[in-house]
Amino acid sequence: MMSSLTRTVYPMKVLKLAVACVFPLLGACSDYHYKNYQGDWAPEKMQPVDLSDNHPNAALVYFETFRVRELGVPFHRLVLATEVDGVALPGAGRRSILDVSGEQALKLAPGKHSLRWCNVSMNALGTGGAFCNKGADDVVFAGGQRYVVTFRMTASTKGYPGAYSVEYRTYSTIKNLDTQEVIFPLEGQGDG
């Protein structure tokens, strides 16, 4: 009888010890953000890269950034611009699964532009990844307006324990922050 009681108590001690060790680690990471990118959505704090040739009525395009917790693990999810009108931004792109760079805000001359970006999801445990080469072609940006490129991610699990796979998909939009109009994707165009 004593040995079964010992078996029951032992796993509880291990569980308590694990929680005691991991809980402070997770609390310390609540401010996690990827590299030096802005972690919280505050467009007024973003410094746009001026690609408008100092146009007096430039459009501002922001790329979404937010932080979430999933199962107690802090994640930083953000969109990083990598290319404008077929020209790569300096230093932008994916060098490896965990090394992605780009811009969080752009200043563009009014008119049609094509954009490419990476949807990035990194976490405080040092894992994550990015879906790159997402984009929109020939999108019209009005002068003096502010826009945001957003993304959402879904995951679906197929299979059974021990033999399953997880499929991730990302969906992007471009929304005018001043009018709230979604300018990409247009109805019937599919997702970004």
Cα dihedral value 21, 27, 29, 30, nearest 10: 160
- Encode the chain (192 residues) as per-residue pLDDT tens digits: 343 334 444 555 544 544 444 444 444 445 788 999 999 999 999 999 999 999 999 999 999 999 999 889 999 999 999 999 999 999 999 999 999 999 999 999 999 999 999 999 999 999 999 999 999 999 999 999 999 999 888 888 898 888 888 888 889 999 999 999 999 997 655 555
Residue 45: both structure tokens together: 């704090």
What's the predicted TM-score (pTM) here?
A: 0.79
Cα separation, 4 vs 124, whole angstroms? 39
Cα separation, 98 vs 63, whole angstroms? 19
Cα separation, 59 vs 88, whole angstroms? 19
Cα dihedral value 150, 183, 131, 171, nearest 10: 80
- Nearest alpha-carbon partner for 35 in 108, 103, 117, 134: 103
Residue 188: both structure tokens together: 């019937």
Q: Are 125 and 73 spatial neighbours (Cβ–Cβ below 8 Å)?
A: yes
